[in-house]
Amino acid sequence: HFESSGPELFGDADDVAVWGAARIAAAVVDGWVSVEWYSDYSAEIAATAIRIEVLESSVVPRGPILIDFDSSAGNQRLQRTVIDGPGERIELQLHADDMREVNGWSVLLRYDPDQLAYVDGSFAPGDFIPGLIGLTSQIDDVLEVGGTVLGTDATNEGSGWLGSLAFDVLDGFSFSSSLVIEQVKLRVPGQGRLKQEVNSRGILNEATPDLVAGPVAMDLDGAPQDQGMRRLEGVAAGDRVDVALHVEAAPELSGWSARLEFDPSLLSYVGGSFRAGDFIPGLIPLVGDKETRVDVGGVVLGGSATGSGDALLGTLAFELSEAFVDSAEITVTRVSFNTTASGEVIEQVRHSIVLAVGADAVDGDFSGDGILGADAVDGDFNGDGIVDFSDFFRFADFFGADAGKRSRLMELAVLHIGLPWAALVEQNVPNPFNAETMIGYHVFRAAQIELHIYDIAGQRVRVLREGVRAAGGYRARWDSRDDDGRRVSSGVYLYRIVTPGAEGILGPRKMLLLR
């Protein structure tokens, strides 16, 4: 049980036994959890130990206190806002949201001190609890604000304005930054102080500047060369995604770094996953991991090794959070080259990749002018006000089997009833398998088809090039060999359909090889 005042409450949110693994680790680092050994016990009792086993992960609750960037009266729930950049002062409001009866409160607010600075003395308590005495405490990148009443019995519950405070945007701000309430402390009459681990965010985004993509590109394909895959579909919460960094036409370098920024509520950098490529021999890899960004790169010390031209700089991984439900972006915002000719050269850039749960809708060419999306119809052909299979059937009957109209039929099905745009991949048979397996797939319009097979680490091991296929059903055979003809080891493999130059990918699916 975590510390408390007043009667002890077991089984509530501040109990160590109900914390997640990340919270326990943070508590140990912060010194909130410790182990004491006692020497005054009899010989029969050497030590007492407990085992904490995380059986199931859970999403950290938002909590009873919310951030609002709108200064209007009442909680406007503006938890994401656009700013101009460094030099701006941002005011945020704290609001109680369905709070229990309290006579005091505080929050631990974490932020990036390289991007934001708390304006000393800016915290002003609101009118939620009359006579509240405001208190602030700052330790590194964590600010605690709140207050309590003294000598009165004033309390309140429900929703209301708790207070306001301000931050200055520093020169180090780039692209996006978060303010995160990660712990709420409530002073409850008759129960003492209660603590709750929460995750309530306010996000600042920079107004999109007119910047070029820059010399460093991200790729979601596992091949050694840049395959230009900037969008990966079919991912879900909890998935790990590998990202490769490639450089094009680099000058002679002895070191480099790239800053990748992202929404921490949707994904996070996997600690220790960065691996430098062989672009610069003897490069010492360096990683700077912040909540909203990660800086990766390296430098050569005590040597003359350099690299230039096109190359793989390195790879790293991200994990999608439980809050991921639609799509998320990762953006390279800053590139630094340590050149042999000019020293350090820093460039502000914008280059993004997208991780998504599925394909975007595709508008069809219903007028026959060769332009997709310019003249899409609503698809309600029977006039009942609903676009469904009845409209699809009527459309098919009207155009019959005319090959010239079949593509329009497919476009309608893609747009309104979810038919895959180019192809659909099936589960392999048999699965599990020993030496070889068959992978079935359906093509809905003529397309060049490839099946890419990956190991569980995300490295591509084989490409089955099927060539251009007309609409129809097909099967591809994999003999459990890689592209060099070597038999791969037992394990889980992923496969997906790729339509080069068209709509990207469909899949992936899993299969199990047992030798």
| pLDDT tens figures, 312-323 | 999 999 999 888
User: Rounded to 5 degrees, what are φ and ψ at 26?
Assistant: -65, -40
pLDDT band (50, 70, 90) for residue 3: very low
> Which of 279, 281, 268 has the alpha carbon at shortest distance from 245?
279
3 state DSSP class of 193: strand
Interhelix angle 403-417/389-399, nearest 10 degrees: 170
Q: What angle do CA 222, 238, 321 make, to 5 degrees?
A: 110
HSE-CB of 364 using CA atoms within 13 angstroms: 19
In the CATH scheme, what is the code of domain 423-513? 2.60.40.4070
Cis peptide before 61 (omega within 30 of 0): no
pLDDT, position 391 = 56
Question: Is the confidence at residue 409, as pLDDT, over 80?
Answer: no
Average pLDDT over residues 389-401: 53
Eight-class DSSP state of 487: B
Average pLDDT over residues 435-450: 80
pLDDT tens column, 293-308: 899 999 887 778 999 9
Give residue limits of the domains in the chain: 65-206, 216-356, 360-416, 423-513
Map 228-296 to HEC letters: CCCEEECCCCCCEEEEEEEEEEEEEEEEEEEEEEECCCCEEECCCCCEECCCCCCCEEEEEECCCEEEE
Question: Is the confidence at residue 292, as pLDDT, over 50?
Answer: yes
Its CATH architecture, for the domain 216-356, is Sandwich (2.60)
**Better-scored residue on pLDDT, 3 or 261:** 261
Token pair of 305, please? 């090794």
Average pLDDT over residues 114-139: 92
Q: What angle do CA 423, 429, 432 make, to 5 degrees?
A: 125
pLDDT tens column, 170-227: 988 877 788 999 999 999 998 888 888 888 888 887 765 566 778 999 999 877 788 8
Cis peptide before 7 (omega within 30 of 0): no
Alpha-carbon span 460 to 437, nearest angstrom: 17
3 state DSSP class of 508: strand
Eight-class DSSP state of 17: G
pLDDT, position 224 = 77
In angstroms and rounded to an integer, the radius of gyration of the C-alpha atoms of the chain is 28
pLDDT, position 510 = 85
User: Rounded to 5 degrees, what are φ and ψ at 202?
Assistant: -125, 130
Contacts from 394-401 at CB under 8 Å and sequence distance 24+? none
Alpha-carbon span 445 to 494, nearest angstrom: 24
What is the percentage of the chain residues whose pLDDT exceeds 70?
72
Question: Is the confidence at residue 60, as pLDDT, over 70?
Answer: no
Mean pLDDT of the chain: 78
pLDDT, position 382 = 55
Q: How far lies 131's CA from each of 9, 108, 259, 489, in Å?
A: 28, 22, 46, 70
pLDDT tens column, 455-465: 888 888 999 98
**Better-scored residue on pLDDT, 492 or 415:** 492
pLDDT tens column, 476-506: 999 999 999 999 998 889 888 887 654 445 5
Token pair of 125, please? 């308590």
> Which of 166, 64, 140 has the alpha carbon at shortest distance from 105?
64
Q: How far lies 216's CA from each of 17, 275, 492, in Å?
A: 45, 16, 32
Residue 218 contacts residue 332 (beta carbons within 8 Å): yes
pLDDT, position 475 = 86
What is the percentage of the chain residues whose pLDDT exceeds 90?
34
All residues at 6 or more sequence positions from 330 whose CB lies less than 8 Å from its CB, including other chains: 218, 243, 260, 261, 262, 267, 318, 352, 353, 355
Alpha-carbon span 30 to 329, nearest angstrom: 31
Neighbours of 259 (CB within 10 A): 22
Question: Is the confidence at residue 328, as pLDDT, over 60?
Answer: yes
Question: Is the confidence at residue 10, as pLDDT, over 60?
Answer: no
Q: How far lies 45's CA from each of 36, 50, 52, 264, 491, in Å?
A: 14, 14, 21, 46, 46
Average pLDDT over residues 243-247: 95
Q: How would you label 397-414 residue by residue, b for 16+ Cβ within 10 Å and e otherwise?
A: eeeeeeeeebbbbbbbbb
pLDDT, position 445 = 64
The residue assigned the tokens 């604000």 is 145
Contacts from 425-429 at CB under 8 Å and sequence distance 24+? 425/451, 425/495, 425/496, 425/497, 425/506, 425/507, 425/509, 426/509, 427/509, 427/511, 428/478, 428/495, 428/509, 428/511
Q: Please report the beta strands in 321-434, taking only residues with DSSP state E, as ranges in sequence order.
A: 327-339, 343-356, 423-425
3 state DSSP class of 406: helix
How distant is the alpha carbon of residue 206 from its chain centre?
A: 18
Helices (H) and strands (E) in the chain — how many of each?
Answer: 3, 28
Looking at domain 65-206, which of 3.40.50.720, 2.130.10.10, 2.30.30.90, 2.60.40.680 is its CATH number? 2.60.40.680
pTM of the predicted protein model: 0.47
Question: Is the confidence at residue 266, as pLDDT, over 50?
Answer: yes
Do domains 65-206 and 423-513 share one topology? The answer is yes
Q: Is the dihedral of CA 431, 434, 439, 440 positive or negative?
A: negative
Question: Residue type at 401?
Answer: A
> Which of 375, 409, 364 has the alpha carbon at shortest distance from 389?
409
Question: Residue type at 93?
Answer: Q
pLDDT band (50, 70, 90) for residue 151: confident
pLDDT, position 32 = 55
Residue 338 contacts residue 253 (beta carbons within 8 Å): yes
Question: Residue type at 289?
Answer: D
HSE-CB of 408 using CA atoms within 13 angstroms: 24
Question: Is the confidence at residue 38, as pLDDT, over 60?
Answer: no
